[in-house]
Chain A
Amino acid sequence: MNLTIPDGQFVVIVGLSGAGKSTLLRCINRLVEPTEGQILADGVDITRLGEAELRAWRTKVGMIFQNFNLVNRSTVLRNVLAGRLGHTGTLRSLLGLFPRSDVELALRCLERVQLRDKAFSRADQLSGGQKQRVAIARALCQEPKILLADEPVASLDPPTSHLIMQDLKRICREDGLTVLVNLHFIDLAVEYADRIIGLRAGEVVFDGPVSDVTEKTFEEIYGCSIRPDDFRGRGDR
Chain B
Amino acid sequence: MSALARRSGTLVAALALVALYVWAIVGLELRGVNLAERWHQAAAIFRIMVTEPEWTYLWKCGSAGCVSELGQKILETLQMALVGTTIGAVLAVPFGFLAARNVAGVRGSRAGKFILNAIRAFPEVVLALMLLKAVGLGPFAGVLTMGIHSIGMLGKLYAEVVEGIDRDVLEAMAACGANRSQAIAFGILPQVLPEFASFAIYRFEINVRAAAILGMVGAGGIGTPLIFAVNNRDWGRIGVILLGIIVVVAAVDAVSSYLRRKLV
Contacts and interface: CB of A to CB of B under 8 A. Distances in A.
Q: Do A and B bind each other?
A: yes
Interface of A: 29, 31, 55-59, 61-63, 65, 67, 69-74, 78, 82-87, 90, 93-94, 135, 138, 142, 148
Interface of B: 166, 168-169, 171-179, 181-183, 185-187, 190-191, 194
Nearest to B186: A82
5 contacts: A55-B177, A58-B176, A65-B168, A82-B187, A94-B182
Nearest to B180: A90
A73 B181 CA distance: 18
Contacts of B194: 73
A220 B74 CA distance: 79
B90 to A, nearest CB: 18
B177 A86 contact: yes
A85 B191 contact: no
Contact of A69 (B168, B179, B191): B168
Contacts of A84: 176
Contacts of B187: 71, 82
Nearest to A73: B190
Given A69-B172, A82-B187, A85-B179, 13 more contacts: A31-B174, A57-B177, A59-B177, A71-B190, A71-B191, A74-B186, A74-B190, A86-B176, A86-B177, A86-B178, A90-B181, A93-B182, A135-B172
B176 A82 contact: yes
Contacts of A138: 172, 176
A65, A69, A90, A93 — which one has the most chain B CB atoms within 10 A of its CB? A69
Contacts of A94: 181-182, 185
A31 B175 contact: yes
A76 to B, nearest CB: 13
B206 to A, nearest CB: 25
Nearest to A148: B175
Nearest to A61: B175
B260 to A, nearest CB: 15
B143 to A, nearest CB: 30
Contacts of B185: 93-94
A57 B175 CA distance: 10
Contacts of B177: 55-59, 85-87, 142
Nearest to B183: A85
B186 A78 contact: yes
A139 to B, nearest CB: 8
A97 B54 CA distance: 56
- Among B166, B183, B186, B191, the one with the most A-chain Cβ atoms within 10 Å of its Cβ is B186
A69 B169 contact: yes
Q: Which of B177, B187, B194 has the most chain A CB atoms closer than 10 A to its own CB?
A: B177
Given A71-B190, A73-B190, A73-B194, A58 B174 contact: yes
A58 B168 CA distance: 17
Given A65-B171, A85-B173, A55 B181 contact: no
A158 to B, nearest CB: 24
A103 to B, nearest CB: 15
A90 B191 contact: no
B171 A83 contact: no
Given A73-B191, A90-B182, A85 B168 contact: no
B49 to A, nearest CB: 48
Contacts of A148: 175
A58 B182 CA distance: 14
Given A69-B168, A94-B185, A83 B191 contact: no
Contacts of A63: 172, 175
Contacts of A61: 175
A61 B177 CA distance: 9
